[in-house]
Amino acid sequence: MLANLDRSIAAEVLELYGLVAQFLLGRETTLVYYNPAGLDCSWSVLWQRNLTSHPQIVGQRSYPRPDLYDRFNSGLLVLACLSADSRAAGQLETLASSLRHLRMVPLLMEVAGSDQESLASQLLSFCLRQSMLHVELYFRNYNHPLFLYSFRAFPSFELARRRISGGRAVEIFANKLANLQGHRLRVMPDLSPPNTFSYRDARGQSQVAGYLWEFMANFASRINAGLEVVRPNWRAGGAAESSYMLKYTAQGLIDVGLTTTLINTRNLWAIHQYTYPILISRWCTMLPVERPLPTADLFGRILCPALAVILMLVTIFAWLVLRNPSCVLLLGNPRLTLIVPRLLALLLLTTCSAQLLSLLISPPFHERITSFEDLLHGDQKILGIRSEFYDFDGAFRARYAGIFHLIDDPDELYDLRNHFNTTWAYTIAYVKWLVMNTQQRHFCKPVFRFSEDLCFIDFMPTSMVVAPESVYWEALKDFTFVASQAGLQKHWVRKSFYDMVRAGMMHIKDYSELVTLRPLNIADLQLVWRICGAAIVVAFAVFLGELLFFYGNVFLNSL
């Protein structure tokens, strides 16, 4: 491959080409050539002869191409050829405009001219300000050794120069976010539990906790960075004002806004200021756990009505058969006619007694609610916020408006829900449910359950806020994958409950109702009294019928 090159190209350029070819090995990469001044660049030979296995885009005009992102979102390598005079800065600025939302792609720049360290520092510092970290630069001068210029971004800008052919292995496009050397990331918490919240520790110092804080603290530790808290200027504990954080990150006042933002059509215009979703949530219903059936209803479950009627018919039939003298003679033993009915009665009595004891020891529960239709035909209502209700689909609101009890004050809902008031069911996000379910682990028995069958939004990707061209976007995405595979996000959400307990914002308290054993009373035997009353009424009616029949005959015979 190298033998096909022009002999005028310096050997060090060939070695640099080898590094690029090795970097491209096994990658599906599109090469973008940027040469706005039409210079005689070394890469003009390489791309025509030796890099033909990769798709190529050649740009030889000086105006920006901001639509490049619409065609690619990754998998690019930019090879740029810049002038050696004052025009280089303008050409690089045009290139940065073309790489809108693609600033993290590798960029190799060749400057046509002699080695100028001051120009290299000027161009590379501009790259750092434009969030272009994976940049290498060299000057084309075949009469002098070739030096690769790069920079260290953290903790501050520092120009780095190294030889290509020095006997040591040279790494190009090194990851500058692997070690931030203690650089402090400016973060703004939303102070909305369980995302983030503020409290004072035992020494009286203000601290921040919450699962987003845990996420960011572990990310900072992974890249050897620290965290600097920028306090928000809105009411602590209020709703997360992501619109403010979008403005602060865009202006460079903070690096990351610690708030959970749902990406939807309303904020799609700012999608490049949202991180990769750190947690996929759902907005569903928190239902009270089904209660056991009352004792009075248990007696109706000993025998079903159909079985009771069948047993009665079988008993009457057996009694009629056994009273027939011919059947008794066939059996051969008259005593058997007395034992069989008693054995049947004993079997029925013991079976019913065992069934009753089983029901009293472990009573069944009310029928489980599995759909909005069940709520529509039942007595349970969902306590919701009026403003949230009108965000639902119109057809859903028209059909299921009757299952909601709407209020305007969200604090009232939060207070009832946080104290596990079982009068209502509640709307709740999955993240909040993880916290409340962690609290339920300290109860004697669970009070509420999270119903995935009664969801209003099944897919809620939640993200944090960063700058439009944040250098941390890719690193945060990679860390999100690692944390998700390890199950750390849910662990941090559950841990935030204990952080709030430590901060005095929540308490470990059992809100479940203790079940006290009590003896049966008259009210529990309602079904028994009704059956006895019905039997007495039937017996009394038969007795009256017999009297009427007897005295009717006496009266008729006396006439």
Q: What is the DSSP letter of 114?
A: S
- Cβ 34 vs Cβ 79: under 8 Å: yes
Of the candidate CATH numbers 3.30.930, 3.30.1150, 3.40.1130, 3.40.50, the domain formed by 2-163 belongs to 3.40.50
The pLDDT of residue 231: 85
Cis peptide before 194 (omega within 30 of 0): yes
SS3 state at 362: coil
SS3 state at 418: helix
Tell which residue, 46, 183, 196, has the closest CA to residue 500.
196
Beta-strand ranges (E) seen in 401-505 are 404-407, 425-429, 448-451, 457-466
Series of mean pLDDT values for 10-residue runs along the chain (559 residues):
48 80 81 84 65 68 72 82 86 89 90 86 93 91 81 91 76 90 92 89 88 95 94 61 84 91 78 90 92 76 75 72 62 62 77 80 82 90 90 88 92 91 93 93 92 90 91 94 93 94 89 73 77 87 87 76
- Cβ 197 vs Cβ 500: under 8 Å: yes
Tell which residue, 54, 59, 1, 14, has the closest CA to residue 33.
59
| Both structure tokens of 311 | 């047993």
**302 class by beta-carbon count within 10 Å (0-12 exposed, 13-18 middle, 19+ buried):** middle
Any residues with CB less than 8 A from the CB of 326 and at least 6 apart, and which?
none
| pTM for this model (two decimals) | 0.79
Tell which residue, 108, 167, 169, 160, has the closest CA to residue 139.
108
Distance in angstroms (rounded) separating the CA atoms of residues 370 and 80: 61
β-pairing verdict for 382-385 and 425-429: parallel
Q: How many CA atoms lie less than 13 Å away from 110 in the CB half-sphere? A: 24
The pLDDT of residue 6: 46
The pLDDT of residue 12: 77
Q: What length does the chain have?
A: 559
Element spanning 177, H or E: none
The pLDDT of residue 406: 93
Cβ count within 10 A of residue 433: 20
Q: Domain segments of the chain: what residues?
A: 2-163, 295-361, 523-558
